[in-house]
């Protein structure tokens, strides 16, 4: 993302905020692993979306129309000794010269400077409940200003939910965001292909995970957008399985849900394939059903359709298919009304995708499903899950979890499957695994 893009976003937000307002955005805190060891740092997505600033201990302040400086960045000071241990810091000069701030102060001065900025504004745009420390400090500063109001100063009168505005901006992807997401998707597709190529009975699930992360790093994506799920056999029925510590067995399938993050944008792909490279008859029956549901859902992705249309299409195909296989019994419309498919398909068919894997943006507006519009990116990911002990299902279909997940961009004319390079049909998967 270029500095111009971050600037455009700040301007857009400031236009929406209007005069007499101030927005305050902290970055994410550092998480301690143990003692003086930290988890790898990732900035808060809302903060980064507006600033492009990657360091921890930073607070961005936007003050539309303020003469001295509209964009003020509080961040760490330069410190020779600390930089020798932990790497370079932008400091106040870097915040302005490299990251486009109009002014910058040391983060330690926040408590002296920010209250004075609040004093002159009426509306505070802030996401309450995300940062307990800043919530508390802000409360104290505002209370103090209220008490001072008798001496002629007036403090802010109104708090506005910043996330509401920002998340709607984030829902519509710009050209450069789509470019980053295409890259993330392409790299993850390569990783899934590689996992298929190297998978053998007897491997550990985490070894397959290592192939995924290795292939992503080889192509420029060092982080995953979420912990990879690699579940053999019945482990695939645990929706957020991340133990990944079992052996992959001949005759089982394995479900891999993994996607890299590229330039702070996520991809999210699931593929399910036989550990030994050849689908058995029963595996194929269930797999083809999930694939048909996914294809039906994907067809519904176009401007003017609403958010729930793909899910309803998937549910219809899955219910009909389960009746044909004899796993569900009864009339299809009634089974759909009763949500009988819920026993085997508990989750929804997708979610927004962007800087976060489960990205921001409302799914309903005034109680109605949101209409799809060009620039929105989402996943389509139906599944079927039949754990070992499931009653009423013939043994040949038990111990199987299947999900097929792609990332899609809504376009003017319909959609674009960003993850199309990941093998998906039975024929493609068997060819990749055999070849
Ligand atoms: N990887 C989480 C999801 O598919 O939603
Ligand atoms: Mn996923
Ligand atoms: Mn997903």
Q: What is the pTM of this model?
A: 0.96
Residues within 6 Å of ligand 1 by CB = 226, 257, 268, 351, 357, 381, 405
Is 381 a catalytic site residue? yes
Is 247 a catalytic site residue? no
Boundary-marking domain end, from 143, 170, 197: 170
Is 385 a catalytic site residue? yes
The secondary structure of 26-58 as a DSSP string is E-PPPPEEETTEEPPP---HHHHHHH----SS-
State the pLDDT at residue 74. 98
Boundary-marking domain end, from 147, 170, 193: 170
Claim to verify: residue 285 and residue 416 sit in the same structural domain: yes
Instruction: Find the catalytic residue in 167, 186, 271, 351.
Output: 351
Domain with 204 in it: what CATH number? Answer: 3.90.230.10
State the pLDDT at residue 156. 72
Q: Which residue, by CA, sits nearest to atom 3 of ligand 1?
A: 268
Claim to verify: residue 263 and residue 151 sit in the same structural domain: no
Quote the ligand 2 centre to 327 CA distance (angstroms). Answer: 26
| Cα–Cα–Cα angle for 55, 352, 46, rounded to 5 degrees | 25
Quote the ligand 3 centre to 61 CA distance (angstroms). Answer: 33
Percent of the chain with pLDDT over 90: 95
State the pLDDT at residue 352. 98
Claim to verify: residue 216 and residue 306 sit in the same structural domain: yes
Residues of the domain holding 221: 172-434
Q: For 19-30, what is the mean pLDDT?
A: 96
State the pLDDT at residue 155. 67
Q: For 113-137, what is the mean pLDDT?
A: 93
Q: Which residue, by CA, sits nearest to atom 4 of ligand 1?
A: 268
Is 205 a catalytic site residue? no
Is 358 a catalytic site residue? yes
Q: Which residue, by CA, sits nearest to atom 5 of ligand 1?
A: 358
Boundary-marking domain end, from 146, 170, 194: 170
Claim to verify: residue 98 and residue 180 sit in the same structural domain: no
Number of domains in the chain: 2
Claim to verify: residue 160 and residue 269 sit in the same structural domain: no
Claim to verify: residue 376 and residue 270 sit in the same structural domain: yes
Claim to verify: residue 336 and residue 234 sit in the same structural domain: yes
Instruction: Using CA atoms of 109, 115, 116, 117 in order, give the dihedral in degrees to the nearest 10.
Output: 100
Quote the ligand 3 centre to 343 CA distance (angstroms). Answer: 20
Domain with 68 in it: what CATH number? Answer: 3.40.350.10
Claim to verify: residue 15 and residue 51 sit in the same structural domain: yes
153, pLDDT greater than 80: no
Distance CA 202, CA 204 (A): 6
Claim to verify: residue 192 and residue 203 sit in the same structural domain: yes
Distance CA 23, CA 125 (A): 4
Claim to verify: residue 108 and residue 180 sit in the same structural domain: no
């Amino acid at each position: 993302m270029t500095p111009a893009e971050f600037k455009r976003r700040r301007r857009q937000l400031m236009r929406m905020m209007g005069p007499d307002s101030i927005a305050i955005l902290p970055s994410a805190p550092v998480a301690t692993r143990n003692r003086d060891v930290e988890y790898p740092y990732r900035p808060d997505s809302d903060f980064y979306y507006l600033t492009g600033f990657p360091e921890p201990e930073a607070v961005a302040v936007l003050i539309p129309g303020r003469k001295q400086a509209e964009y003020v960045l509080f961040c760490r000071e330069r410190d020779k000794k600390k930089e020798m241990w932990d790497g370079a810091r932008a400091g106040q000069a870097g915040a302005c010269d490299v990251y486009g701030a109009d002014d910058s102060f040391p983060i330690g001065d926040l408590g002296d400077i920010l209250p004075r900025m609040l004093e002159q504004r009426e509306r505070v745009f802030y996401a309450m409940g995300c940062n307990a420390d800043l919530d508390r400090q802000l409360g104290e500063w505002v209370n103090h200003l209220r008490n001072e109001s008798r001496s002629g100063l007036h403090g802010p009168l109104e708090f506005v939910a910043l996330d509401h505005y920002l998340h709607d901006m984030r829902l519509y992807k710009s050209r450069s965001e789509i470019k980053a997401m295409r890259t993330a998707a392409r790299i993850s597709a390569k990783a899934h292909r590689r996992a298929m190529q190297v998978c053998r009975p007897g491997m550990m699930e985490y070894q397959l995970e290592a192939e995924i992360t290795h292939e992503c790093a080889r192509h420029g994506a060092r982080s995953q957008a979420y912990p990879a799920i690699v579940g053999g056999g019945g482990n695939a029925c645990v929706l957020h399985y991340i133990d990944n510590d079992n052996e992959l067995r001949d005759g089982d399938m394995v479900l891999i849900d993994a996607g890299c993050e590229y330039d702070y944008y996520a991809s999210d792909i699931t593929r399910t394939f036989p550990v030994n490279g050849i689908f058995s008859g029963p595996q194929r029956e269930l797999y083809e059903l999930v694939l048909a549901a996914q294809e039906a859902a994907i067809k519904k992705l176009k401007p003017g359709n609403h958010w729930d249309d793909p899910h309803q299409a998937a549910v219809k195909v899955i219910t009909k298919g389960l009746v044909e296989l004899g796993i569900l019994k009864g009339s299809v419309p009634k089974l759909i009304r009763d949500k009988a498919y819920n026993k085997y398909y508990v989750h929804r068919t997708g979610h927004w995708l962007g800087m976060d894997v489960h990205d921001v943006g409302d799914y309903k507006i005034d109680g109605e499903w949101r209409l799809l519009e060009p620039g929105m990116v989402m996943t389509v990911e139906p599944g079927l899950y039949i754990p070992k002990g499931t009653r009423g299902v013939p043994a040949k279909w038990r111990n199987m979890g299947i999900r097929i997940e792609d990332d899609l961009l809504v376009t003017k004319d319909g959609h674009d499957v960003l993850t199309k390079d990941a093998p998906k049909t039975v024929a493609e998967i068997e060819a990749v695994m055999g070849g």
